[in-house]
Structures are given as C-alpha cells and as structure tokens.
C-alpha cells in the first residue's frame, strides 16, 4: 500500500484529522472507518470555534434496527438511540402495495410526512365520527393521542416518516387490535360481540403489526357512513402544496395548529436550502427541535452557552436535535438542495432570528457590545429571512 502523502492533510483521497487553519492534529494510520470519516468532515476536523462538552445530537436511520415484515418494514429513532431527544421520537416506515400497518392506537399523538408513494389512512374518534383519506408525497397526517387508526400502502407502495410527541415512544409497543383479541378470553369476545366463540377460531395468535393485503378499491368504495358524521377537523394537510416563504437561498413551509388545527402537539417547518445557502443563526423560544433530513447534506453547530459549541454533519436519512433555546444554523455543504424538517412538541412554530434581533436593537448598543461597525450594522435586516444566501459569502465544500 502506498502511504506517501500527496498533501500534509490527506493521503490520496483519505482525509486526515489535521486542521488546515492552524495545523492542529496529526495523521491517522490506525483503525478507522474512512467512509464515516468522509461523511463527517466537520466532526473529523471540527471548526476551531467548537469547544466544550455537548451530548450527541445526531443519529442516522442507517444505524437503526430494521423491523422486516411481510407488507413492509420500519425502523425507529427514540430516546434509546439518541438520549438527548426526549420530546419527540421518529419512525421511518415502508408499506408495500396493499401492505397494512394494522388497526392500532397509542398514548402519544402521531404526526406523519409522506416521503414517497401513496397510502390510505383511516380513523374513528371518540364520538364515532370517522375519517378516511388517501395521502401522497408531501402530505401530512395527525392522529391525536389515543385515537385509533390504520395505514395501507396503495398501488406502488409508500414510505413515510412518523413523529410521536414522546421521545420514549416505540412503534413496536403500541396497542393493536390483533394483540387485544389474542389476549382476551374467547368467551369474553363472544359476549362482547354477540357471536359464537367459533367466530374467533382463526384470529391471529398475537400482534400482527404489519401484514400484506390486497390493494384496496377506490376511496368511495371503502367509505363507511357514520350516523355521527366525519371528524370535525381534518387529520390530513397538504404541506408541499402550501405556498412557501421564499428568500434568497431557499424556502420554508411552516405548519402548526394555526393552519393544521388538529395538530395541537406537533409543529413543523419543511425547509429547502439551496447550494450555497443556510438556515440563518436562530433559536426557538418554545421547545427542543427534532430534525429529519430528507435530501442533500449540511452541517449544524449547536451553541449551548458558556463557551460550549459543537458541529455535526447531516445527510439524507439522519435525525438531528437541538435542545430548547440553544443557538444554531444549518448550512448546505453539498451541491444539491438540502431538504429537512424542523419539528417541535408544540402547538406553534416559533423562532428568534439573531439578525432581526440585532436589527431591532439600538445601534450603539449592538456596536459597543460586539465591537462592530457600520458595515455589519447597515447590513442587518428588520424582516426575518429563515434561509439566506449572499453571493461571495457562501460555504464552498472542498
Ligand atoms: Mn400509529
Ligand atoms: Mn431551528
């Protein structure tokens, strides 16, 4: 093997933990996972501004256990995988054409974003009002805590992200109709429904979770008329169809209980950051942020106060996290758009912009506090731009 260095910072295409700006670090010839080092350039060679102790703020679905079933798969990132993430938990699920996530309910509310394909969802609320809808890419659904529901893949199947308003949630630990039937005496089932015990001869012996079924007929053919009507607040929302807030460098679609009224415990923003752009320096005055990266790659530094800041790299399929009120930005480090979801256990989406805060504060105070001059003060903006890009001041990946 040729170990001759072509540059002091890398052996061929193998990155080395040496910081160019100050020469800190040294060559690593020992055991290592070069693919992962390449995926995490800002963890491998952190910015010189990183400092102090901060818990891990990243977990990839690629490092999560896959639950494989006839009809689909699921994998989850909960507080067991990412201990800092106590407010929300996420599940990435695939359902084949006809594949069913069985009739079930849970103690947590369920918010979902459709990544690919089409699905049919059903639900019935406590007043006997029912709900059925077909959802496609870019659509959301929300089932309040305790409300029963099902999901079925339509022609072509589907993949989606589920988010639950409790970091301790597990999708493998929900209340399922098959599980309840299997653990109820047959004479009780018989007495409950007024049919002979042998009507239950073939029920599943335990929780089914996901199963393969036929692709269902049309929505109209499956609609059940309820004497109590349908649910008063829709359980779905077309997020991608919503007009975004556009700024130079990207766009943002915000969804919370103000435009998706049923979603009382989960608020979100779907963000696109174009190459060279970044989600500006900001924080959230309401709760922790749980992130899901849909496409592209980026980096985020989380600032915790007291000199503590740590930078993480993210790419499609990763989950990121920011504790309540901690400062952060997300910068596109790739050559395609970076798409991600910011999610909060809250009835509303709120953020505080560093730029806007400074612009709306007396100039002398900002100048004397930071020792900055007119060049910066005149560039401050009173309007909030969630995503920014300034030609000549963009991050250029190597
Ligand atoms: Mn569910
Ligand atoms: Mn944020």
With tokens 């309040």, the residue in question is 144
**What is the CATH class of 244-387?**
mainly beta
Per-state percent for the chain, helix, strand, coil, to nearest 5: 15, 40, 50
Decide: helix, strand or coil at residue 121: strand
Hey, what CATH topology would domain 64-172+209-237 get? Jelly Rolls (2.60.120)
Alpha helix ranges (H) inside 171-271? 177-182, 186-193, 219-222
Decide: helix, strand or coil at residue 39: helix
* Closest ligand by atom to 102 CA: 1
* Closest ligand by atom to 105 CA: 1
* Closest ligand by atom to 281 CA: 2
Residue 397: predicted pLDDT: 64
DSSP one-letter code for 86: -
Residue 394: predicted pLDDT: 85
Angle at CA of residue 113, ends 236 and 157, nearest 5°: 95
- CA of 356 from ligand 2 middle (Å) equals 15
Residue 12: predicted pLDDT: 67
Task: List, in order, residues 6 or more apart from 44 with CB less than 8 Å away.
Answer: 15, 17, 37
**Taking Cα atoms as reference points, which of 311, 267, 307 lies closest to residue 290?**
267
Residue in 110, 280, 289, 342 annotated catalytic: 342
Rounded CA separation 70/210 (Å): 7
- CA of 72 from ligand 1 middle (Å) equals 15
Whether 244-387 and 64-172+209-237 are alike in CATH topology: the answer is yes
- CA of 272 from ligand 1 middle (Å) equals 27
* Closest ligand by atom to 290 CA: 2
Residue 4: predicted pLDDT: 46
Angle at CA of residue 64, ends 144 and 76, nearest 5°: 5
With tokens 């700006």, the residue in question is 21
- CA of 29 from ligand 1 middle (Å) equals 47
Does the CA dihedral 24-30-34-37 come out positive or negative? Answer: negative
Indicate the domain borders of the chain. Answer: 64-172+209-237, 244-387
Rounded CA separation 114/137 (Å): 5
Q: Which two tokens stand for residue 380?
A: 């401050």
Residue 2: predicted pLDDT: 43
Spell out, as residue ranges, where the chain has pLDDT lower than 50: 1-5
- CA of 295 from ligand 2 middle (Å) equals 17
Rounded CA separation 38/121 (Å): 40
- CA of 34 from ligand 2 middle (Å) equals 30
342 counts as catalytic: yes
162, 163, 248 from 140: Cα distances, Å? 10, 11, 26
């Amino acid at each position: 093997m040729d170990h001759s260095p072509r540059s002091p910072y890398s052996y061929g295409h193998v990155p080395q933990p040496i910081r160019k700006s100050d020469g800190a670090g040294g060559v690593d010839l020992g055991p290592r996972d070069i693919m992962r080092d390449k995926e995490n350039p800002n963890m491998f060679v952190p910015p010189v501004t990183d400092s102090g102790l901060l818990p891990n703020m990243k977990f990839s679905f690629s490092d999560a256990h896959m639950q494989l079933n006839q009809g689909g798969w699921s994998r989850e990132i909960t507080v067991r995988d990412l201990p800092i993430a106590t407010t929300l938990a996420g599940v990435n699920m695939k359902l084949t054409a006809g594949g069913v996530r069985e009739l079930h309910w849970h103690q947590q509310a369920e918010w979902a974003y459709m990544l690919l394909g089409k699905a049919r969802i059903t639900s019935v609320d406590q007043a006997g009002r029912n709900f059925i809808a077909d959802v496609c890419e870019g659509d959301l659904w929300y089932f309040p805590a305790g409300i029963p529901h099902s999901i079925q893949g339509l022609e072509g199947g589907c993949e989606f992200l589920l988010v639950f308003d409790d970091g301790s949630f597990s999708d493998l630990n929900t209340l399922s109709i098959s599980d309840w039937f299997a653990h109820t005496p047959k004479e009780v089932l018989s007495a409950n429904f007024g049919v002979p015990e042998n009507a239950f001869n073939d029920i599943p012996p335990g929780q089914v979770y996901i199963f393969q079924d036929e692709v269902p007929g049309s929505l109209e053919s499956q609609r059940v008329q309820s004497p109590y009507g349908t649910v008063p607040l829709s359980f779905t929302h077309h997020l991608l169809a919503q007009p975004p807030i556009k700024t130079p460098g990207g766009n943002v679609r915000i969804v919370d209980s103000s435009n998706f009224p049923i979603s009382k415990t989960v608020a979100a923003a779907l963000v696109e950051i174009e190459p060279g752009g970044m989600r500006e320096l900001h924080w959230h005055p309401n709760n922790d942020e749980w992130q899901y990266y849909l496409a592209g790659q980026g980096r985020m530094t989380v600032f915790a106060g007291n000199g503590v800041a740590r930078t993480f790299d993210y790419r499609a399929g990763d989950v990121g996290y920011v504790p309540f009120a901690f400062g952060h930005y997300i910068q596109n480090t790739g050559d395609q758009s970076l798409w991600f979801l910011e999610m909060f256990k809250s009835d509303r989406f709120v953020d505080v912009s560093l730029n806007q805060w400074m612009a709306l504060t007396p100039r002398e105070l900002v100048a004397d506090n930071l020792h900055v001059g007119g060049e910066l003060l005149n560039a401050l903006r009173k309007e909030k731009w969630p995503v920014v890009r300034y030609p000549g001041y963009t991050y250029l990946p190597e």
